Amino acid sequence: MSQSSHGIGGLTFDEKKKARAPEWNVFFALLLIVGIFEGLGALLMGQSLLFDSADRFDSIFNEARLKIIILQVAIIGIIALGSTQVIILGGIDLSPGSIVGVTAMIAMSFAQVAEISAGVVNPKLMWAGISDLPVIVPIVIGLAVGIAAGAINGLLIAYTRIPPFIATLGMMVFARGAAKWWSKGQPISFPTDSYAALGAGMMPVFIFIALAILFHLILKYTVYGKHTYAIGSNEQASRMSGIKVEHHKVLVYTIAGALAALAAIVLSSKNLTAQAGMGVMYELDAIAMTVIGGVSLSGGRGSILGTVLGSLIFGVIISGFTFLKLDAYYQEMVKGIIIVGAVVLDQYRQKRNASRM
């Protein structure tokens, strides 16, 4: 038995038998789901989901499919990084999907070109004089929209004490309305090349990974992270310990809003257009990734790493269904089952912990 360096009072603690980090369970779930799809693939299609089955590529993996899997979760993944922090804080955020809609519209309207090609005017140009602006303009304006929406969420929740569910539901409806109002329902298209580059190719994935690493470090190594976990774990205790709970809540919801705005910029750039309906249901997918990734809906527990793994599970399921040529209905039904399953598992874990006290 190896003696721990962190125990006191003569109690021994076996470092090797330490409880497994919960992220491992999510990782095993990911492997299990990949395994299931590989099995079904071999059985039904005679093909592999992730591996290069017929020596068609230079590597052991089917890179094209891997890319698709990661690419399709990257943008919602960016939102999920915010949802993770909000849920660890003990809250919930239903507004990011709509914030994506309104931010995409507003940012794109400052990213348009005047002429699609020489002499051909942009048919969707919103304002005659406003076109071909430097890329920083739509980025800053877009971020400002997300930050404002997130800050309003946070202020409502922290200072009027309305439940996060209600405050962000209001924002969800409001922001969607604003997205439609901005261009009277018209799509906004034809961005500048520099704006179009933001979400081109694998850029969404790079941005997602960079942000995931950034927020992983922030949650783990900064006072901000510590206080987010503390408030989610015991808000009253945090307040008595002198944490400025209200300030902190505003900050967390604001960051979630900013992340939704980033997702909107990347998404509208990738699609080369913005529509008022962009991002519908993204908040629920983001919450699903978070919950599947082991973040507890009752707050105080979870991690960015878990959410990243959760987003991969999400991506594998979607790709797996397409790969098996199963209808999209099944996809959504299974998604629903998995979300509920993840929450049930979390409840069970909590009960088990509580009964040990």
Partner 1 sequence: MLDYTNAEVVLETRDLTKHYGGVHALEGANFKIHKGEHVAIMGDNGAGKSTFVRQITAVEQRTRGDIILNGQPTQFDSPIEAREAGIETVFQNLALADDLDVPSNLFLGREKVKFKLGPFSILDNKAMREATMAGLVKTGVKIPNILNSIQNMSGGQRQCVAIARTAAFHSKLTIMDEPTAALGVQETAQVENIIRTLKEQQEPVILISHNMRQVFDLMDRIVVFRRGRICANLTIDGSIKPEDVVAYITGAKTGEEFPEAM
By rule CB under 8 A, what count of residues binds partner 1?
39
Could you tell me the smallest distance in angstroms from the CB atom of residue 228 to partner 1? 10
Instruction: Give the whole-angstrom CA distance, residue 308 versus residue 289.
Output: 8
Residue 229 in the binding site for partner 1 (CB under 8 A)? yes
| DSSP secondary structure code for residue 273 in this structure | E
Per CB under 8 A, 253 contacts partner 1? no
> What is the C-alpha to C-alpha distance for residues 231 and 198, in angstroms, rounded to an integer?
35
Whether the Cβ atoms of residue 251 and residue 56 lie closer than 8 Å to each other: no
Which is nearer to partner 1, 141 or 243 (by Cβ)?
A: 243
**2 binds partner 1, rule: CB under 8 A:** no
Would you call 332 helix, strand, or coil by DSSP?
A: helix
The length of the chain in residues reads 357
Six-digit token string for 345? 């598992």
| Residue among 37, 75, 43 at smallest CA distance from 282 | 75
Binding letters toward partner 1, positions 22-41, x by CB under 8 A: --------------------
φ/ψ of residue 42, rounded to 5: -65, -40
Distances in Å between the Cα of 66 and the Cα atoms of 34, 46, 52, 105, 202 are 12, 18, 11, 30, 12
Residues 212, 261, 255: CA angle, nearest 5 degrees: 60
Q: Is 325 in the site for partner 1 (CB under 8 A)?
A: no
For residue 222, state whether it binds partner 1 (rule: CB under 8 A).
yes
Q: Tell the smallest beta-carbon distance from residue 348 to partner 1 (Å).
A: 15
Binding range to partner 1, per CB under 8 A, among 61-69, 110-118, 158-166, 227-235: 227-235
Q: Taking a C-beta distance cutoff of 8 angstroms, is the pair 273, 108 a contact?
A: yes
Given the rule CB under 8 A, which of 64-72, 135-143, 177-185, 229-237 is the region that contacts partner 1?
229-237
Can you tell me which of 91, 97, 232, 310 binds partner 1, judged by CB under 8 A? Answer: 232
Among the listed ranges 138-146, 177-185, 216-224, 304-312, the one in contact with partner 1 (CB under 8 A) is 216-224
Stretch that binds partner 1, among 10-18, 281-289, 324-332, 334-342 (CB under 8 A): 10-18
Query: Please, which residue, 8 or 120, has the CB nearer to partner 1?
Result: 8
Among the listed residues 55, 242, 325, 329, the single contact to partner 1 using CB under 8 A: 242
Rounded distance, CA 167 to CA 171, Å?
Answer: 6
Tell me how far apart the alpha carbons of residues 224 and 203 are, in angstroms, rounded to a whole number: 28
Residue from the set 75, 243, 265, 286 that interacts with partner 1 by CB under 8 A: 243
For partner 1, the closer CB: 221 or 348 = 221
Nearest one of 317, 291, 293, 255 to 72, comparing CA atoms: 317
- Is 236 one of the binding residues for partner 1 (CB under 8 A)? yes
**How far apart are CB 322 and partner 1 at their closest, in Å?**
38
Q: Which 292-311 residues touch partner 1, going by CB under 8 A? A: 300-301
With CA atoms as reference, report the closest residue to 105 among 197, 201, 181, 213. 181
Give contact residues for partner 1 (rule: CB under 8 A).
4, 6-13, 18-19, 218, 221-227, 229-230, 232-234, 236-243, 248, 251, 300-301, 353, 356-357
